[in-house]
Amino acid sequence: MSDALTHAIHVEGLVKSFGRTRALDGLDLAVRTGEVHGFLGPNGAGKTTTIRVLLGLLRSDGGTAQLLGGDPWAQATELHKRLAYVPGDVTLWPNLSGGEVIDLLGDLRGGLNKQRRDELLTAFDLDPRKKARTYSKGNRQKVALVAALASDVELLILDEPTSGLDPLMEEVFREVVRAEVQRGGRTVLLSSHILSEVEALCDRLTIIRDGRAVETGTLAELRHLTRTTIRAELAGPVDGLAGLAGVHDLRSQDGQVSFAVDNTSLEQALRLLAEAGVRGLVSQPPTLEELFLRHYNRPAAAAGVTR
């Protein structure tokens, strides 16, 4: 009961196979009520499959999934009144106009805020009179976004919602989502590849790979797991740096040292530098990108172990 209140989505050990392919292999995902949760992973990692299980479009083969306190398969229809979904690849009925599709989807969800609809149409600069067959990918995505964001729902499930939008519209999207969350009462699950978008919007995030969650936490927590790159100009030679656990790629030449250090050993490394006398120092904070690449490039078997 308390879990249902604190978590909009709670998935444990989710398994889904298509024939011999295991698309989800014991996936865990917890999205707290009221947060924007980033859902990252390379193509084919299982992001869309997870979302489709959460929407009751696919039936899971194992594990548990809770959505807004209910069973996403058995109670799909009731739960769908409380959420809105934007698919990654939006297809629309070619002979309906954009405005018609927005009203239809909104109404099928149980109602649409007309004023919000018009505001969003203006913000996204979308002509609702055009037939869907004449829209570009980006414009089809705008149609789905307007329909979802103008619905008065608790949970937004957005599957790579900006993959067809231009940078200007991406910015509009960010502003709109931020405003939504500030108004309160909304939870967002945002699947994405775009790191800057996730950094800008998300409170917490989960990285998945090969159907499993490999990292989850707040941005700060995840940064903690990465390395800071340091370059320093020193007054004298530095001792013990090479022997310190957590220091990598150490190079020193003419009083210049450069190395990468695990954030757990950062303090010790800095103390050693200070003892040698620091004349200049450049440090590069860890980027999400590094974190991301580390997980993407690593072979699957090692992914869970080498934290």
Partner 1 sequence: MKGTLRLTRLALRRDRVQLPIWLVAAMMLLYAGAAAVKDEFPTEADAATALKGAVTSPAVLLMRGIPVGVTQGALVNFRNYASLLVLVALMSTFLVVRHTRQNEETGRSELIGSAAVGRHASLGAALTHAVIANVLMGLLSTLALLGAGLPAAGSLAWGAASLLTGLSFAGIAAVGAQVFSTARAANGFAAAAIGVAYFVRGVGDALGEVGPDGIKVTSNWLAWVSPLGWGEQVRPYGDERWWVLVIPLLFFVACAAGAYALVNRRDLGAGLVPARLGPPAAARSLLSPTGLAWRLHRGTVIGWLIGGVLFGYGIGTLGTTVNDAFEENKGVADLMGQLAGGASGGLVQVFYAAMMAIFGVLAAGFAVQVLLRLRSEETAGTAEAVLATATGRIRWVASHLTIAVGGAALLLAASGLAMGLGDASTGGQTSIGTLVGAALVQLPAALAVAGFVVLAFGWLPRISVALAWAGLVVSIVFGMLGDLFGLPQAARDISPFSHVPAVPVADAAALPLVALGAVAVGLAFGGLALFRRRDLTS
Interface residues with partner 1 (CB under 8 A)? 52, 55-59, 76-78, 80-81, 85, 87, 89-97, 99-105, 107-110, 128-131, 133-134, 144
Using CB atoms within 10 A of its CB, is residue 193 exposed (0-12), middle (13-18) or buried (19+)?
middle
Q: How far is the CB of 80 from partner 1 (least distance, A)?
A: 5
Q: In what order do the strands lie in the sheet with 21-32?
A: 21-32, 7-18, 62-67
One-character DSSP codes across 12-27: EEEEEEETTEEEEEEE
Helices 114-124 and 137-149: crossing angle, nearest 10°? 150
Alpha carbon distance 36, 67 (integer Å): 15
Q: How far is the CB of 103 from partner 1 (least distance, A)?
A: 4
Contacts of 111 (CB under 8 A, 6+ apart): 151, 152
Q: How far is the CB of 141 from partner 1 (least distance, A)?
A: 12
Q: How far is the CB of 151 from partner 1 (least distance, A)?
A: 9
Structure tokens at 113: 């805020």
Nearer to partner 1, 105 or 198 (CB): 105
Alpha carbon distance 25, 241 (integer Å): 41
Q: How far is the CB of 267 from partner 1 (least distance, A)?
A: 49
